[in-house]
Every structure is written in structure tokens, then in C-alpha cells.
Structure 1
């Protein structure tokens, strides 16, 4: 016997949960079901706890500058449990020539800092006279062309901190479409930013804060999953159009829905969507990392979010999060907790190392940068099963294919990790947009690309 729903959501990660929550707020009478192949909701959002130590398998937080994100926190009933680490109160460090250098977070501090030479700072202004390239650009070549070679270690660090990716492969047009639009419209990124700032005169915008929760990021997805109709251990095998909308086959179960939301990471989504139309690529690359969690007694760690290492520094770790400096209760007092990230797109071979070797090499690497006692009092290696989707060259063609598919099937909505971004706020914003489109009986139209600030 077929089971009928108003909306079927495939996937109960942050994207699927966001769609379900925003849809419930708009039309609580709709019959909605989420289909989850695993035994838990939340997807890549997963927290670790052992005794009084807390760490993250996935994202370590999300910024408070997204209205949809704040709405979701309130809907989850967690507004009184949010922990905030304001960016303006915490330093961020770059590994430069074997030592940590503080990254300036505003233009004035940047111009006064020694992180770039005077000539390199002057070269940044070359952007004002360089014509935009109209074809898709990789981030590294694009940044070098517009701002000079000296900026590349900073760009590399920013990409490492978000994608664990290779900035020579990632698409500028896919990762930062708002900046590319600004460049093309005004002939220069700097000119476009100055005009934006002038248009926003009088609207003071400070630095945002990073957010987490006392029990880790998973507290958000656990709260969102409550009171939702989620079918766990429900692997979707196939989707197809039928006279009532969509038929979804999940093992022996057959479900029918008037509208279908595919809220899966790109590669998992492609495996289902190929039956409707052949995509330009069968899958996209992913970057996998290991999180080496280390607890120390009385380590003299600065009040900072952490540090990042560009590839040219030839470090073992991509960087490290100073977790106990950011949020309370990450380690028992007076312990200090660090989370070192290893692997990524450029060094997948390091993930083949045994846990003991990962710990040894990560500790050895960080000890040359930080005054760490010996040895760590607590260690744990977290190896997330979810890779980070890489929006590399050609990704814009995949997005055009997705948009065309949604245009041909107005009751199909494609959201999820790695389509338009990998940040939590990006997942939440797209989830809100999908819910609004369903509630208003519209198809999902691509939103205008905003300029995404880079905070390292």
C-alpha cells in the first residue's frame, strides 16, 4: 500500500531539517516526512563527548549574521543556550615562515600589519585597473591576476579553513559568485565594494560572532529533529514522476508525494537524480580530514579561534582550533583543548596513517608553533565519514544543470551540502528558500548571489 504525503524530504541533515522546520512554521497542516538512510539525524553536524571533553566531527560553529540561522535557533528553542565567541574579541593566526602571525580583520589593521610587504599592499590596488575575465576562474589564478602573487598564502589559508581544499582547483564563480558579479558589474572588486559601502552609509555593521551550544553543534540538529516524522534506516533507491507527483522507492516501501525535496550532499543527490537527466559529471571531488583532538594541562594558548597554515609552509596540520579558548566547557578546568585538522584535498595520503602516528605528527607540528606541555593528557582522533564537497572548476555547469532540472520539474527541490556552498548558514538559507517556495506553490528560483565576507 502506497503512503501519501504532501512533501517528501530525502535526507535529514541540516538542509532537510531546515526545510522541514521552516515549512512547519509556514504551513503546519502539511503532511511531511523525512527519509534518512542512517540511524541519526543531523548529517555532517555531529558532536563528540568523552567525560568532560567535547569536540566536533563536523562544523565547529556558525556565524550569527544570518537572520534565517537565528530564526532556526529560536524555532529549536535554543536561544537561551547559544554560546557566542565574537570575532572582534578573538585573534586568528596565520603560519608565516614558521611562526604564528596575527591576521588583521579590518582594512586599517591590514594596512598597518607586516603580513604583506609595502609593495604587495600597493599591488592590491591593481585590481582597480584590471579588466574582469568573463570565463569561469579558479580561485588561485583569479586572486593572483587581480591582487598579485603575495596575497596567495592568505587566500590559501582562507580556503583551507573552510573547504580543506585546493585553491588552484576550486571555482571562484561557484564559491564566491557574489564577488565575481561585483567584479563584472563594476570592473573591479575594490570599486564594487566601495560602492556597496557608500550605498550602505549609516548602517553600521560590526564583526559577527561564532556560535555553538553547551553540548556541541549536534544540540541544534537534535532539537530540530524532535517532533518530526523521520524514517530512519530508510535508504531511497529510486525516484520517479507519477500522476500524483513523485514516487519514492525505499526498499520494500513505496511513498508518494506531491512535492519532493532532495536534501542530500551533491554526490548522494546525483545518484538519485541521474534517472531524471544525465548530469555533466557523475560526481564531484570531496576532501576528507581527520580531527586530532588533544587536551593539555596549563598550556599557554592565546585567546584566539586558532591558526591556519598555507600549503607553502609545508606543515603537517592544515591548522588547529583553540576550542577551549572559544567556548566554555570544552575541557575540564584547567585543561586546554586543541583540535588539529589533517588531510584535506591535497594530502589524502595522511589519512592512511594510524591514530597513534597522526597524534604524534600533529603534536610535533603544533609544538613548534605553540608552547605545549608534553605529552597531551587527552587524545582522540575523529575521522568523519562525510567528506567536504569541493566546488571545483566546472561546478557552475552542474548548478546550471540543477536549475534546469528544477525548471522542468517545478515540484522538485534540490538542496543540500555542497550545491551552493558548504557553510551551515548557506544550508539554512537555502532551506528557508525551499520552504517558502513550497508554501507559495512556486519553484525554487536561484537567489541573487551575495558577497560572502571572509573571516578566516
Structure 2
């Protein structure tokens, strides 16, 4: 068994996007900083993985990220990926929500949403009731909070948003966990609407002359999202700093740092970065704080059914989402060949239909034939398609989406207390500060700065995120 105790400044456990960005920034911003990334799989990226077969390109994990995060744009520029990426603007590509068995187009601007016939006029007026309602106490569920602030007519659309983002159940997700910035505006200004107006006014004051506010774009790469972690991994591999097939089985706090044990290596360093999904990190952290051994967060698993058709056309846009009230088999469908080029062979379309999620985990366990048949029957009720697909494939999940439900905020508090007590310990990854790629990249960039400068990890101010369908 190999042991190293005098050549490493930082051990990073996890070669997903969080760990790779931390390593990239440490290498770039702190020349001479010595690090090792330990990844249990034989590839980088974690849940980010692209699928290619017979000219069809799909994703096991995220399909892209919005270009409205400065840190993500910086990573693209620093790696040269800004010259490779492809983008689809939200201003051009609409989305739909299935309501009463029909696809309703959702505009992406607030004014157009108000004008659209999505809910009755009286219910639109009811939305203004937000101006006169005190914030709910405690940590209400998303469903309870949205119904209280804006009325029950909007609930199917709210459900669709969180189905699309978390594959979750908005009767379980907590508003303080999934939208802490909005909740902070609500408490500070007495209503969400007043808070959003105040934030917009402040933004106008800081806007540069001639600067235009534009809709963000969904960003990916010609060969799929897997290109992002692979590019970040390239210099680490060249330097011998990325070790594949190294599942960490133990941690130990030492007088001057941290010891990390795998089946074949024992490494010692001053700093330890756990860049793992929440449920992957907690068992390891239990060796430092035994009280964490009994903790976990619920997860949602998704199966993706990829369909290809010849001589067919999809509606314009990104795809559609389905609220639970519709009682359909699938959660929604992404129009992959609409979003980005070269997703299907010439003369073909491809779309990806999602099944399972927090509410229906049993559907992910169905055999491929049943998943394909039931998914296609569900899609045919909403789209006009030729009689037979030219391609059908089930992509089984190898990861799960952390659900930010009851107890999540307390878990974050305990994480923050732990890193404050344990010098040199840093924690980030899938689910710790959200589940979006931009969330993880932003957190990883900030954390890398703290690791390199020798300052403790702290929780950033809650960000107000816009909602895009």
C-alpha cells in the first residue's frame, strides 16, 4: 500500500464537476499548489455523461446549463470551451406544460405570461394577493407556499417547474431550501412581488449605459455535456493528479491535516475537499462527526427513454413538462434535436422522455420493453408522430437527484458548523448548495479560493434565481 504525506497540499475526493472545478481553480490561481483528485469511477464527471449510438446523441444526466452565471462563463473561457460550446436561447425556444391533456406554451417573459390564457382572469388578479400576505412561518413546502402567496390556480405550473428541475414532489420540497433567495426577499419586503420590484430597481441603477437585458441561453457541446468534465480532467491527468478507481473508505483527522484511505492508497494533506453528493459524503463525515451517520436526504431517480423518428417534426421549443395532476406515465419530454445540432441522423428527430422521479420510483424498475411501450403511448397523446420509431433506447440512471425536503436546512447548518470546527475541511458537491451545474460551479470556485488562501469555508448569501420553464 502506497502512502504519501509530504507532497500534497489538498486531497479532493470526487471527480465530478465540483471536484474538477476546485482542482482547476486551485491549479490556475495558486501556482505550485499540490493536489490529488480521487475518483471512484474510471471516468470523470459524476452524473454528467453523454450517450451516443447510431447517430443519436442523448444525456444520462444534465442536458446543459444556462449562460447567466459569471463563474460558469469564466470556466468556459479558461478552458477554451467557449470556442466549442453550442447554445440555444430561451428567447427563441419555448417550453410547454401539459394542462388538461393539451400542451400549453409558456412564454418566458413576465408580461407575456400575464397576457397568456394560462389561468382565468380572476386567478390572475388573485396573484396580486401576494402584496398583502405576511410570510408563512417555518419552512413550508413549495406547494403550500405557492398556494398561499399566489393562489391554487398556479399550482400545476409550479409543480411542472419543480418536476423539471428536481424530478421532485412539490408537496415535500421546502421553499426555504430550493429558493432561499426568494424567501429572503419575501421576509425583507413583506411580499415576493415587492421584493422582485425592489431588486429590479437596484439592478437598473447598476446597469451600464447601453447594456441590454437579454434572456439566457442553454449551453452544451457538439459531442454532449461529457465534454465539460473531460476537458477539466485533461490537465489533471497529464500532471498525474487525477486517480481513477479510488473509492475512499475512510478519513482520519490528524494533528496537521487529513489522512484519506482507499483500498490501495493512503494520502495525507493539510486540506481535504469532499466534493461528493450529499448522501455520498455523509458516511465519510460520520468518522469525524458520528452524529451524521444516521442522516441522509431523499433522492429521485429518473429513467430516460430515447426515441428517434424519421420524416417527423417536433413542435418548436425545448420540450414539455407534466404536472402530477395530469396523471400521466411520464414526467415530460425534451426535444433534443430542436435544442442542439447533430443530435440525430440527417432526416431524423430525437427526443428524450423522462420517467420515475420522487413520486414514482417503481416505474424506473420496469423492464425496457414496458418502459418504451408505455412512454411512447403517453407521448403519442401529445405529439403527432409516425407509426413506428426508428430508434428506442432506455438509459438507466447511475446517479440520483438529492431532494431538498424537510431537514435539509438543518443539515446545511450542521455542515457549516462542522467545517468551522475542523480546520482544513471543505465540503461541496451535488445537493449541498443546490443541484444545478451553475450552483455547483459557483460554489466550487468560491471554495477553491478559500482553500488556496487558507481561510475557512463559509456559506454565501442566498441568491435570487429566476424561474425558467
TM-score if structure 2 supplies the norm length?
0.96
Decide whether the 8 Å contact of 1:62 with 1:424 is kept in 2: yes
Q: Give, in whole Å, the separation in 1 of the partners of 2:363 and 2:166.
A: 17
Given the alignment of the two structures, is residue 208 of structure 1 paired with residue 209 of structure 2, yes or no? no
Given the alignment of the two structures, is residue 413 of structure 1 paired with residue 426 of structure 2, yes or no? yes
Q: Which residue of 1 aligns with 2:141?
A: 138
Match among 245, 270, 282 for residue 282 of structure 2: 270
Q: Which residue of 2 aligns with 1:11?
A: 14
The aligned runs of 1:269-288 (5 Å cut-off) are 269-277=281-289, 278-279=291-292, 282-288=295-301
Q: Give, in whole Å, the separation in 1 of the partners of 2:137 and 2:294.
A: 23
Per-residue CA distance 1:339-359 (angstroms, 9 max, x = gap): 000000001111121111111
Match among 352, 356, 359 for residue 372 of structure 2: 359
Q: Which runs of 4+ in 1 moved over 3 A?
A: none
Q: Give, in whole Å, the separation in 2 of the partners of 1:443 and 1:307.
A: 43
Decide whether the 8 Å contact of 2:283 with 2:293 is kept in 1: no
The aligned runs of 1:194-273 (5 Å cut-off) are 194-201=197-204, 203=207, 204-228=212-236, 229-273=241-285
Q: Which residue of 1 aligns with 2:333?
A: 320
Q: Give, in whole Å, the separation in 2 of the partners of 1:130 and 1:280.
A: 40
Given the alignment of the two structures, is residue 335 of structure 1 paired with residue 343 of structure 2, yes or no? no
Per-residue CA distance 1:212-269 (angstroms, 9 max, x = gap): 1011000111011112111111111111111220011112421101100000000010
- Give the gaps of 5 or more residues in structure 1: none
How far did residue 280 of structure 1 move?
8.5
How far did residue 75 of structure 1 move?
2.3
- Give the gaps of 5 or more residues in structure 2: none
Decide whether the 8 Å contact of 1:288 with 1:387 is kept in 2: yes
SS in structure 2 at match of 1:121: helix
Q: Give, in whole Å, the separation in 2 of the partners of 1:408 and 1:137.
A: 30
Q: Give, in whole Å, the separation in 1 of the partners of 2:106 and 2:81.
A: 32
Match among 158, 161, 164 for residue 161 of structure 2: 158
Q: Give, in whole Å, the separation in 2 of the partners of 1:21 and 1:281.
A: 33
How far did residue 329 of structure 1 move?
0.2
How far did residue 281 of structure 1 move?
5.0
How far did residue 25 of structure 1 move?
1.3
SS in structure 2 at match of 1:227: helix
How far did residue 283 of structure 1 move?
1.0
**Corresponding pairs, count:** 456
Q: Give, in whole Å, the separation in 2 of the partners of 1:133 and 1:31.
A: 48
Q: Give, in whole Å, the separation in 1 of the partners of 2:247 and 2:109.
A: 47
SS in structure 1 at match of 2:442: helix
Given the alignment of the two structures, is residue 110 of structure 1 paired with residue 128 of structure 2, yes or no? no
SS in structure 2 at match of 1:200: helix
Match among 176, 180, 184 for residue 177 of structure 1: 180
Q: Which residue of 2 aligns with 1:126?
A: 129
How far did residue 420 of structure 1 move?
1.2
Q: Give, in whole Å, the separation in 1 of the partners of 2:35 and 2:351.
A: 41
Q: Give, in whole Å, the separation in 1 of the partners of 2:264 and 2:62.
A: 35
- C-alpha RMSD over aligned residues: 1.1
SS in structure 2 at match of 1:345: coil
How far did residue 303 of structure 1 move?
1.9
The aligned runs of 1:278-317 (5 Å cut-off) are 278-279=291-292, 282-317=295-330
Decide whether the 8 Å contact of 1:174 with 1:420 is kept in 2: no
Decide whether the 8 Å contact of 1:244 with 1:256 is kept in 2: no
Q: Give, in whole Å, the separation in 2 of the partners of 1:333 and 1:80.
A: 25
